[in-house]
Amino acid sequence: MTDASDYDTVLTRALDAWADGIRKHEPELVASYFTEDAIFQGFDRTHVVGRAGVTAYYDKQPVGLDPQFTVLETRELSADTLLAYVDVDFAVPAGEVIPVHLTVVLGRFEDSWLIRHYHVSKIGA
């Protein structure tokens, strides 16, 4: 991959799927967009490794959570690895919006791009 628009397409497709799974409150579906050994740091104090931890994390999120994202930066780390820096607004059903910065690393596995690393930080925290 050499074109920045290709990066944006890959990242947007992957993050659209991730966000859609969250909106539907389908934790197993969300976890399926991560690798089996993904490193995941959400809002919890500790990180988790793997899909089971990702599933557990999203299972405890409120039904109706709605992430809206904007990809700010992308970098090709290798032909099969992309890095992205993303702004995400997580709207909770009560109306509060939690703005965050998200860093993700995606890897290509056959015809799929999966999240290998996920780290979120609250803006202003």
Closest CA to 67 of 27, 40, 99, 29: 99
Residue 90 CA to residue 67 CA, distance in Å, equals: 4
Q: Is the pLDDT of residue 125 over 60?
A: no
pLDDT at 8: 86
User: Please, which pLDDT band fits residue 116 given cuts at 50, 70 and 90?
Assistant: very high
Mean pLDDT within 54-61: 97
Q: In which element (H, E) is residue 119 found?
A: strand 112-122
H helices of 1-125, in order, are 4-23, 27-31, 51-59
User: Please, which pLDDT band fits residue 42 given cuts at 50, 70 and 90?
Assistant: very high
List the domains of the chain with CATH numbers. Answer: 4-122 (3.10.450.50)
pLDDT at 111: 86
Q: Is the pLDDT of residue 115 over 60?
A: yes
Residue 49 CA to residue 59 CA, distance in Å, equals: 16
Q: Which residues contact 103 (CB under 8 A, 6 or more apart)?
A: 83, 84, 85, 86, 117, 118, 119, 120
